[in-house]
Amino acid sequence: MFRKILTTAGSLVTIGFGVWHFFVPRIWNWYSYIDPKAAELTIAVRAINVFFSLCLVLFGVVNILFISEARSNRYSIIVMLSATSVLWLTRTVLQLIYPQGSQNPVVQFGMLSAFILVTLSFLISLAIVIFRNDAA
């Protein structure tokens, strides 16, 4: 049960982060920083952001489906939790090496704290699945 709570919480944050990222280019006026003559760059940035945002939403949804469904097998759950753990661990490490929000320590360390908590939610869930024999 604890594994389901942790995975669901981390997945909801992942989904929220993905949905939020669909709107980031408009909120932060990303395209104003790109030379208007670089139309291909604007298209590429838009495509990468949509792809990234959709991947986060799908990772979150699939994790919730796998963790909630009684028919899910242990291997599938381990694969999804591993992939999501690597994703969030990478984001956490990047926040440590190249911090975003560094103009405001509250934002910088708030983001780092959130990334650590989400990473731990998936890593702990993964450990529970790996070290227990049942998938439930």
DSSP character string of 101-132:
STTSHHHHHHHHHHHHHHHHHHHHHHHHHHHS
- Report the predicted TM-score, pTM, of the whole model to 2 decimal places: 0.89
pLDDT (0 to 100) of residue 74? 93
Close Cβ partners of 55 (under 8 Å, ≥ 6 residues apart):
18
- Copy the structure tokens of residue 88: 């969030």
- The pLDDT value recorded for residue 70 is 83
Rg of the chain in Å (alpha carbons): 17
pLDDT reported for residue 102: 82
What CA–CA distance (Å, rounded) separates 60 from 8? 8
Check: CB of residue 15 under 8 Å from CB of residue 56: yes
pLDDT at 93 over 70: yes
Q: What is the pLDDT of residues 24-66, one digit of tens each?
A: 999 989 999 999 999 999 999 999 999 999 999 999 999 999 9
pLDDT tens track for 69-85? 888 899 999 999 999 99
Distance, CA of 67 to CA of 76 (rounded, Å): 10
The mean pLDDT of the chain is: 93
pLDDT reading at 125 higher than 70: yes
For the segment 1-20, the average pLDDT, to the nearest whole number, is 96
